Amino acid sequence: MKYEATLDSVKQHPVPEWFHDAKLGIFIHWGLYSVPGWAPEGADIDKQVAEKGWEAMFANNPYAEWYLNTLRVGDTQTRRHHIATYGENFSYDDFAPIFNKAVEKWNPDEWAELFQKVGARYVVLTTKHHDGFLLWPSDHTSPNKPGKFASTRDLVGELADSIRKHNMRMGLYYSGGLDWSFEAKPILTLTDVHDTIVQSPDFVEYSHGHFHELIDRYAPSILWNDIGYPAEANVPELFAYYYNTVPEGVVDDRWSQEPPVIPDGAAEFIPPPPSQHSDFTTPEYAAYKEIVDKKWEATRGIGHSFGYNQNEGPNDYLSVEELVRSFVDIVSKNGNLLLDVGPMADGTIPELQRERLLGLGAWLEVNGEAIFSTQPWLTAEGTSGEGIPIRFTQKDGALYAILLDTPKDGKITLEKLRAVDGTRISLCGNPSALSWRQANSGLTVSLPALKDSPAYVLEITPAPQLLK
C-alpha cells in the first residue's frame, strides 16, 4: 500500500514475514570509540544501576561506545586512562585520523562470511553513534565540526553490499536523540539522558536529512533509531517515506518524542513513553518472561559492552552454553536476538567474540530447524519430570522441545504432553526415530547416547496436546 504521512497510515504497516522468521541478527558498534576500546571492568549495566545507582554507573560506564561521555563526567577511570595513554591535550576528535587509517585494512567480506557461517539472517551497523561521527560520506555535515566528521571509506555502503551478497539483510542504526557534536553537556544521571536529546531546528533538519539519505542510498531493511527523537520532527512523514521506499522494512521502538516521568531517587531504568508507532520492541540486556504477541528483539553484547572493550576477558563474556540457552528462550517467546560484536578500529573481531559466535553457529547448524521460521507454541516454557528446563517452538505441524540441560539415564519425560498414535519423535542431528510411551503425567522418550551440547532438540510430529 501507499503510506501517507500520518500516524494512522503508518500504523497499518504489517511486520513482514522475513523479520518474524529471521530470529538472529548481528549488531555492530564500530566508530572512533573503537580506537581506545576501553571501559572500566564491571558488570552488565542493569546490575550496576541496581547496586550503585545511575550516577555511579555513568562514572563507570561499561559501554565502551560511551567513552566520550565518560571522559566528560569528571575524574573517572576512563579519564585517568585517557590522560595516561594519550596525554592531557589529546581530544576525542583526534581519534578520527587514527580510525580512518586503521579502516584501510578492513575487508567487509570477512565479516559477511563470518556472520553467514554463524547463521545470522540480518546485520545492523551503527552509522552514527552518540559521538556524532559518521560511517558514510554524507552530504549533511555537522555544523559544529571542522571538515567532515566522518569515515573516509563508505563503510555503510561497502558492508551493505557484502552482507547482501552473502544473502543476509542489512539494517542501519542511527542515534537520533543524542549527538554530542551538538550537545557537549555530560550525562551524569538518568534525567540527563533525556534532557540532552537535541531539540534544535538545525538538528531536526540534520538528522532528518541523514535518515532520508540512508534510505535513498542504502535501502535498509531495518531503521534502528536510538534514545528518542526531537519533539518537533515529523516522524510519521519519515516512516511513510521509508515504508514507501522499502515496503518490507521495519522500524524499532526508540523514537519517543516525549520525556519519561522519573520519580525522585529512581533506582532502576525508567523507559521513555513508547513510540507512537513501531514494528518491534527492543529490550536491552533483558528479555520478556512470557510469550509477547508484538514482535520483539532482545539486544545485547556478548560481554558487558557493545563497543570493543580491551578490558573484557573470558569471564566477562557469555559462554557458548549461556548464549545458546538465552537465544532459545528469546525465540520461544516470539523474540529475535540482535547479538552485538564490537570490532577493533581496523575491523578485527576479537578472538573471544569470534569463538562465541562460531559456537552458536555450530549449534544452529545442527538444530537450526527448531529456531528459524518457527512460531511460539501454546506455552514457551516447561520442565521435564527430571527437572530439566524446556523451551518450545513450532513449525509446519511439528513441536520442538528444546532441553536446556543434559538428560541423564537415557530418557526424558516431557510433562503435560499427550501424543497420538503414529507420533514420530527424533533428535535434531540424528534422523532415527526414538521410542516413546505415554503416561498420565506426560510423554517419556528414550534417548540415544548424547554428544556434548548446550541444548538438545526433540522434534515431535504431529505436535502433541498440552494437558492442563
How does DSSP assign 217-276, residue by residue?
HH--SEEEE-S---TTS-HHHHHHHHHHHSTT-EE-S----S-----TT--S--PPPPPS
Q: Of 370, 389, 418, at which residue does a domain stop?
A: 370
Looking at the fold, whether 205 and 327 belong to one and the same domain comes out as yes
Instruction: Choose among 321, 332, 329: nearest CA to 356.
Output: 321
| Integer Cα distance of 46 and 31 in angstroms | 24
> Domain for residue 2, yes or no?
no
> Domain for residue 143, yes or no?
yes
The pLDDT of residue 96 is 97
| Integer Cα distance of 151 and 172 in angstroms | 16
Looking at the fold, whether 96 and 197 belong to one and the same domain comes out as yes
What contacts 24+ positions apart, CB below 8 Å, involve 463-466?
463/377, 463/394, 463/397, 463/398, 463/399, 464/399, 464/417, 464/418, 464/419, 464/420, 464/423, 465/417, 465/418, 465/419, 466/377, 466/378, 466/379, 466/416, 466/417, 466/418
Looking at the fold, whether 166 and 82 belong to one and the same domain comes out as yes
| Integer Cα distance of 152 and 210 in angstroms | 17
The pLDDT of residue 280 is 98
Looking at the fold, whether 119 and 154 belong to one and the same domain comes out as yes
| Distance from chain centroid for Cα 46 | 16
Looking at the fold, whether 287 and 345 belong to one and the same domain comes out as yes
Instruction: Choose among 123, 109, 25: nearest CA to 347.
Output: 109
Looking at the fold, whether 215 and 337 belong to one and the same domain comes out as yes
The pLDDT of residue 238 is 98
Looking at the fold, whether 266 and 408 belong to one and the same domain comes out as no
Please count the structural domains in the chain. Answer: 2
The pLDDT of residue 259 is 77
> Domain range holding 405?
375-466
> Domain for residue 344, yes or no?
yes
Per-residue pLDDT in tens (0 to 9) along the chain, 468 residues? 999 999 999 999 999 999 999 999 999 999 999 999 999 988 899 899 889 989 999 999 999 999 999 999 999 999 999 999 999 999 999 999 999 999 999 999 999 999 999 999 999 999 999 999 999 999 998 999 988 899 999 999 999 999 999 999 999 999 999 999 999 999 998 889 989 999 999 999 999 999 999 999 999 999 999 999 999 999 999 999 999 999 999 999 999 998 777 676 665 556 677 899 999 999 999 999 999 999 999 999 999 999 999 999 999 999 999 999 999 999 999 999 999 999 999 999 999 999 999 999 999 999 999 999 999 999 999 999 999 999 999 999 999 999 999 999 899 999 999 998 899 999 999 989 999 999 888 999 999 999 999 999 999 999 999 998
Looking at the fold, whether 245 and 390 belong to one and the same domain comes out as no
Looking at the fold, whether 257 and 394 belong to one and the same domain comes out as no
**Domain with 426 in it: what CATH number?**
2.60.40.1180
**Domain with 197 in it: what CATH number?**
3.20.20.80
Looking at the fold, whether 180 and 221 belong to one and the same domain comes out as yes
Looking at the fold, whether 366 and 403 belong to one and the same domain comes out as no
Q: Of 370, 400, 435, at which residue does a domain stop?
A: 370
Averaged pLDDT score across all residues of the chain: 95
Looking at the fold, whether 341 and 217 belong to one and the same domain comes out as yes
Place of cell 558498534: 29
Q: Of 348, 370, 392, at which residue does a domain stop?
A: 370
| Integer Cα distance of 345 and 99 in angstroms | 6
> Domain for residue 1, yes or no?
no
> Domain for residue 250, yes or no?
yes
